[in-house]
């Protein structure tokens, strides 16, 4: 395991070094007379330090929780977000310059550099603001055999807060205040409440347990709670007054709700076994709360009516939206169907890594339940 982690870190660090080298080469090549040996040395030193900052901050954040580490991690993660767009700006510089040369058009290299890098800064700033602006998505989902007591009731789906070094107690209080204002009947937390870094778990979870919802709040663990033993995370969530669905079923006013932790949803035999052991009543509606849209065919075959999940962040940052889309297809975001199964995958309310969102938005989902229309 340690060897695999070491290889992963080496790959990430190599990518970061190459990315910073590209930005340096682009700046020094296009800046022309505005780039001196002294300024080039200062830029090389700054980019060299920045290139190792995120990996260093991540390793420190896994072991220590203090204001200095949190500030260091937040700064390095924010720079990582901007770096993505500086790299795209660098590629744009070289591509535009090549096309202009082939077409015999004379371009001012410095103006091209300043234009593309300024755009990168604007996109990065937009990404920070966009990621901090929580939206509310309202949908209506029909469920077969819905009890009369559930007609018109509203559930809130919250996922992927990633509480830790960047999004912390203040962010948890904002989410809690939003939920209090929306006043759902029940809240479902679909994993990655925590980011997996060292933290005061009880203090981070406490604000989310403060509001009182008529039918309670329910939680399952995501992959970030399962980097190591997830027991401390589950204990902190329970301590906040939130019920942990520990691979089990709860009947909430006639609605069957099954919660499956992430690590138990990725192995098909284990996942199927948990659903079968829940002894679902086919005459009652069933809801599956899990972290990611894994093995949907199993949930559909076992008679689940609705699955609520997150994990994908809907890609979080352009141009990386294609990656989760390749993994999860149409189920990467929003409301979709597979046979008799309805699936809602949330884009999540927080961020992982760079605290930016470009091309996606953070959301709390309000779901109103109804009965299907007569055929």
Q: Indicate whether 353 belongs to any domain.
A: yes
Last residue of a domain, one of 131, 153, 173: 131
Q: Is the per-residue pLDDT at 375 higher than 60?
A: no
CA separation for the pair 278, 299 (Å, rounded):
12
Cβ–Cβ < 8 Å for 289, 259: yes
Last residue of a domain, one of 90, 105, 131: 131
Q: Indicate whether 338 belongs to any domain.
A: yes
Say yes or no: 355 and 311 in one domain: yes
Please give the pLDDT value at position 184: 97
Any idea which of 2-11, 60-69, 205-214 has the lowest mean pLDDT?
2-11
- Enumerate the H helices of 225-304 as residue ranges: 231-239, 262-265, 268-277, 296-301
Burial of 311 (0-12, 13-18, 19+ CB in 10 A): buried
Structural domain of residue 106, as residue ranges? 2-131
Q: Indicate whether 26 belongs to any domain.
A: yes
Please give the pLDDT value at position 374: 66
Please give the pLDDT value at position 29: 93
pLDDT in tens, 10-31: 999 999 999 999 999 999 999 9
- Residue 217, helix vs strand vs coil: strand
Say yes or no: 71 and 153 in one domain: no
Please give the pLDDT value at position 263: 96
Please give the pLDDT value at position 5: 76
User: What DSSP element (H or E) covers 367?
Assistant: strand 363-370
Say yes or no: 104 and 223 in one domain: no
Q: Indicate whether 346 belongs to any domain.
A: yes
Say yes or no: 161 and 270 in one domain: yes
Per DSSP, which regions of 191-340 are E strands?
A: 217-220, 243-244, 248-252, 255-260, 286-290, 306-309, 334-338
- Nearest Cα residue to 19 out of 40, 47, 42, 54: 47
pLDDT in tens, 240-269: 999 999 999 999 999 999 999 999 999 999
Say yes or no: 161 and 110 in one domain: no
pLDDT in tens, 101-143: 999 998 999 999 999 999 999 999 999 999 999 999 999 999 9
Count of domains in the chain?
2
Residue 337 tokens, joined: 């169907």
Q: Is the per-residue pLDDT at 83 higher than 90?
A: yes
> What pTM was estimated for this model as a whole?
0.93
CA separation for the pair 270, 35 (Å, rounded):
60
Cβ–Cβ < 8 Å for 54, 76: yes
Say yes or no: 113 and 217 in one domain: no
Give φ, ψ of 119 to 5 degrees.
-65, -40
CB atoms within 10 A of CB 40: 14
- CATH number for the domain harbouring residue 146: 3.60.21.10
Last residue of a domain, one of 131, 151, 182: 131
CB atoms within 10 A of CB 141: 18
Please give the pLDDT value at position 6: 83
CA separation for the pair 165, 125 (Å, rounded):
20
Q: Indicate whether 375 belongs to any domain.
A: no
- Residue 350, helix vs strand vs coil: coil
Q: Indicate whether 269 belongs to any domain.
A: yes
Say yes or no: 141 and 34 in one domain: no
- Give 78's DSSP letter: H
């Amino acid at each position: 395991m340690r060897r695999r982690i070491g290889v992963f870190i080496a790959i990430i660090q190599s990518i970061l070094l190459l990315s910073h080298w590209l930005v340096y080469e682009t700046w020094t090549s296009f800046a022309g007379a505005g780039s001196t040996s002294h300024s080039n040395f200062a830029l090389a030193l700054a980019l060299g330090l920045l290139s190792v900052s995120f990996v260093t901050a991540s390793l420190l954040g896994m072991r220590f929780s203090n204001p200095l580490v949190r500030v260091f991690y937040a700064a390095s993660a924010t720079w990582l977000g901007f770096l993505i767009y500086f790299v795209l700006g660098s590629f744009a510089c070289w591509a535009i310059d090549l096309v202009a040369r082939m077409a015999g058009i004379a371009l001012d290299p410095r103006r091209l550099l300043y234009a593309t890098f300024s755009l990168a800064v604007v996109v990065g700033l937009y990404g920070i603001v966009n990621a901090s602006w929580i939206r509310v998505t309202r949908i209506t989902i029909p469920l077969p055999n819905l009890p009369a007591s559930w007609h018109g009731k509203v559930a809130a789906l919250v996922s992927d807060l990633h509480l830790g070094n960047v999004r912390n107690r203040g962010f948890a209080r904002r989410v809690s205040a939003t939920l209090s204002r929306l006043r759902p009947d029940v809240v479902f937390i679909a994993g990655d409440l925590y980011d997996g870094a060292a933290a005061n778990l009880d203090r981070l979870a406490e604000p989310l347990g403060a509001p009182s919802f008529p039918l309670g709040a329910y939680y399952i663990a995501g992959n970030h709670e399962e980097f190591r033993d997830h027991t401390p995370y589950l204990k902190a969530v329970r301590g906040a007054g939130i019920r942990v669905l520990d691979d089990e079923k709860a009947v909430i006013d006639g609605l069957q709700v099954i919660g499956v932790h992430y690590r138990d949803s990725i192995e098909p035999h284990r996942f199927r076994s948990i659903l079968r052991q829940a002894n679902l009543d086919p005459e009652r509606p069933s809801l599956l709360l899990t972290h990611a849209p894994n093995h949907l065919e199993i949930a559909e075959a076992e008679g689940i009516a609705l699955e609520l999940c997150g994990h994908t962040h809907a890609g979080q940052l352009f141009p990386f939206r294609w990656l989760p889309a390749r993994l999860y297809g149409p189920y990467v975001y929003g409301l979709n169907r597979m046979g008799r199964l309805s699936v809602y995958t949330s884009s999540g309310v927080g961020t992982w890594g760079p605290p930016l969102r470009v091309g996606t938005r953070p959301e709390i989902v309000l779901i109103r339940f109804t009965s299907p229309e007569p055929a």
